Amino acid sequence: MAFGKGRGNKRGASTSYASTITMVVFVALCVIGVWMLSSNSVIPPQISRPSTRTVVSETERSDLSTSSNVNDEPEPTKPESEEQPAFEDNPGKLPDDAIKSEDEQQKAAKEKSDKTKAVRESQKETQTQEIPLNNEKIPEENKVVQENDEGQVKQVVKEFEKEQKEQRDEDAGAQLGNSKGAQEQEQEQGQGKEMQDVDQGKKQVQDVEMGTKQGQEQDSNADVTFTDATKQEQPMEVGQSVTSENSKNEENGQQQQQQQDDQISGKDIQQTEETSTVSDENGKEQKSMNEENGQQDEHNTAEVESGNREEQSTTKNENVEQQEEKKPEGSEASGFGSGIPKESAESQKSWKSQAAESKDEKQRQTSESNNAEGMTDGKTWVLCNATAGSDYIPCLDNEEAIKKLPSRRHFEHRERHCPEDPPTCLVSLPEGYKESIKWPESRDKIWYHNVPHTKLAEVKGHQNWVKVTGEFLTFPGGGTQFIHGALHYIDFLQQALKNIAWGKRTRVILDVGCGVASFGGFLFERDVIAMSLAPKDEHEAQVQFALERRIPAISAVMGSKRLPFPSRVFDLIHCARCRVPWHNEGGMLLLELNRMLRPGGYFVWSATPVYQKLEEDVQIWKDMSALTKSMCWELVTINRDKLNGVGAAIYQKPITNECYEKRRLNRPPMCKDKDDANAAWYVPLQACMHKVPTNVVERGSKWPVNWPRRLQTPPYWLNSSQMGIYGKPAPRDFTTDYEHWKHVVSKVYMNEIGISWSNVRNVMDMRAVYGGFAAALKDLNVWVMNVVNINSPDTLPIIYERGLFGIYHDWCESFSTYPRSYDLLHADHLFSKLKARCNLAPVMAEVDRIVRPGGKLIVRDESNVIREVENMLKSLHWDVHLTFSKHQEGILSAQKGFWRPDTTQSSS
């Protein structure tokens, strides 16, 4: 029998004295046994010595630390002087063969330990086969002493459950590490716990610390693949070693029994009865748990919480607080976990999505024939059989759809027409393709064979757009309007209007008809980013040149539909020598610029009608002047650049509705109140104007704070009463997201996933939310295209407000960019959301199309999605550098190679 406290000297007293003690105890136990028989109580016959102590079986000992107490009511606490140990052993009624010699006892204990270990390894037997369970009602006389003892047991179990909660936020090795705190708490409360339990606890801590150290070493190793299977196996293996150690401790404990100083008294017998009752109750609960869980092995200790729900609810808040405190040391600290919570379901009510805003959104059908799981090797993938060849853009080169267009008057043939079945074919590489030249050298020259088109050089060579120089295409930095260099032209505009304030007041601009985007390329030196766009037209590959130069650009045209940007987001819109017919169709195209321009923002128009006196130019100027006046745009200045021989007219959009209300003619008309200015996905253009926001808490009523402060400042119009994407008040949600991504980028992306950032320039965040990832990359020499999915909360205006840019998109369709455009794609919990709407195989084919050879992909998502993406990337012959999974969340880092399939898609 175990009486908890080992009071007295070590076992060194005389044999006669021990025999006397043994005889007294034996007589007392016989009396107890007779009384227990009379009360129909069946006590587990677990005993190991004929002396004053009993060794609990290895199974019982481990169960006592993991089982929840069945009594959920609060119990009175004993005074310190009467406090009893939390765990004690009670033989109850002894069978005739229970008393054996010491050698026999040791032999029996060893045999039982070996048997238990075998049972655990095979998992074919259960604890109920080893522990006789007491299902009888507890005698009334034992209830008071039981409550006192159960109070201590419940306290230890409660602490253990807290540790189990925290373990789910730690890696597999650290999961058992938290039991150290529970062991220490048990020792403090028990005050007299058996020496063998102390030894056992120390051994467990050593095992755990070793597992934790191994787990940390694995976390930092980017060459090792971590999976859920690994995560699950680690605790099982550690648990088995602890089980084996328990058996050893039992044997050691038999040889290290301490001699009792005090005589056995009625109080000692009462302690025995108390412990017997607790043991029976734990046995009941263990049996119940085994029945409910299909007799699972006892190493699944986390499941114990389901049997103690009421007690768990009382500590719920405390557990949550402990989990939040642990996160910086666990998933957030490592960066591999999601770090911030998943999207709040309730936040969907507070945020519109682009799909909801766009009334005429086009519904796409996806093919069920291309099952992503079937992509198991490179033989499945084939090359696209498209006329565009290595420059294929599926939604812009859909010849079948373009042939069916009733008209091309509004450049409909240059707009998006995506295939009904998204392609799963791969785009070929140009012959002689090489890895792109690094920035900033790439701004001046690129490899000719990467974009082997000379038409633009032949047509625009004399205007310093692009020239062929040996194996390079070179860009002198000029253009039609700035032959002597873009920087001079940029400074000319600043001198023309001081209030432009490049890189402070003016941060994000739209460059319409960008050519090869030299204007945007040199604005980086003024801390300005430009969204450059031009159509895929007879000016061959101009946007492709820009992207190969590592300058942001997209293929788009101002035709019959709105551009995929929110309203009131660009600080300045620029059009140099653009031949866009702004005054036609009631000024519909210029009104689209008005929709996207911030109130108080500038439109810079440096075209021939501004400074030339040809008849055509004069007429265009008159029409343009009348249109801008009716739109209430103020002509701020007209200046002429003598060096380049060009001029620029600068207009400003009003910041109030006063001018609109004073117009004699309602032309162009004001848009209807129900017209959503933010709706931009396949929404037809309208020749109308939207009112300027005047409420001080409405977006667009104030100019953002100057750059770079606006990057980290929550927009003034984010209301604290509005729930953010992750369930916190919107401004705090914004800040939390920013801090999270700063931590992940600095601690993980910079060091732990095998990316050489010196080779990265063009970056795309495929699911941007607040733009926190792009903001965290501010000090790197990169630019980021932030993509907000049309069925996600519409947070793109927030991204522009903080001085970044982005675009609306549906990843069930192809993106409007040339192949081999980006160095790095980042997808945070994107693919798991896409699976409900479209197959992943076409999406992965699109990822392969967009990324350059040598480019990278980072995926953060659910573990099962990570595995699916990993399999497809391997079938595409990508080099998977790292996959890591924990707590059903994972991260993947991979690099694209130069592999292309040998077969081509059939013409049918």
* 114/866: higher pLDDT: 866
Quick: pLDDT tens for 150-209.
443 343 334 434 444 544 554 444 344 444 444 444 444 444 444 444 455 544 545 544
Q: Residue 474 contacts by C-beta under 8 Å, 6 or more apart in sequence?
A: 444, 445, 466, 467, 468
pLDDT score for 443: 94
Quick: pLDDT tens for 669-678.
999 989 999 9
Quick: pLDDT tens for 292-329.
444 444 434 334 344 444 444 444 444 444 444 444 33
Tokens of 608: 């021939």
* Average pLDDT value for the chain: 73
| Torsion angle defined by CA atoms of residues 147, 152, 154 and 159, in that order, rounded to the nearest 10 degrees | 170
Domains and CATH numbers, the chain: 477-662 (3.40.50.150), 716-896 (3.40.50.150)
Q: Residue 605 contacts by C-beta under 8 Å, 6 or more apart in sequence?
A: 575, 578, 624, 648, 649, 650, 651
Quick: pLDDT tens for 234-275.
333 333 333 344 444 444 444 444 444 444 344 443 443 443
Average pLDDT over residues 388-411: 94
658-689 burial by CB neighbour count: b if 16+ within 10 A, else e? eebeeeeeeebeebeeeeebbbbbbbebbbbb
Q: Residue 533 contacts by C-beta under 8 Å, 6 or more apart in sequence?
A: 510, 511, 512, 513, 514, 543, 553, 554, 555, 556, 563
Q: Residue 400 contacts by C-beta under 8 Å, 6 or more apart in sequence?
A: none
pLDDT score for 218: 44
pLDDT score for 458: 75
Quick: pLDDT tens for 582-622.
989 999 999 999 999 999 999 999 999 999 999 999 999 99
| H helical segments located in 549-690 | 588-596, 608-611, 615-630, 658-662
**What length does the chain have?**
908
